[in-house]
Amino acid sequence: MEGSGSREPVLDAKSELIDFQWKLGMAVSSDSCRSLKYPYVTVMLKVADHSGQVKNISFEMTVPQFQ
């Protein structure tokens, strides 16, 4: 993945991870490509920022990205 370990994390506003959920899906078809056939991983993080506010952040990765 681009940028892995190549820069130091910015220190301000660290959040706490409360929960980590994952989902494995398979994209079958779309309007731009009838034969997609790629698996992907969706991750949902529940984080609390320094003020205690909780929010959900989700993002997708293809299998090579995940690995």
Partner 1 sequence: MAGELEGSKCLSGLLSGLAQDAFHGHPGITEELLRSQLYPEVSPEEFRPFLAKMKGILKSIASADMDFNQLEAFLTAQTKKQGGITSDQAAVISKFWKSHKTKIRESLVNQSRWENELRGLSWRVDGRSQSRHSAQIQTPVAIIELEFGKHGQESEFLCLEFDEVKVNQILKKLSEVEENINTLMQPV
Binding residues (CB under 8 A) for partner 1: these are 1-17, 20, 22, 24, 26-27, 30, 32-43, 45, 47, 57-63, 65-67
Task: Compare residues 10 and 52 and give the one whose CB is closer to partner 1.
Answer: 10
Least spacing, CB of residue 42 vs partner 1, in Å: 7
CA dihedral of 27, 46, 49, 9, whole degrees rounded to 10: -50
Least spacing, CB of residue 52 vs partner 1, in Å: 15
Tokens of 40: 């992907």
Phi, psi of 63 (to 5 degrees): -60, -45
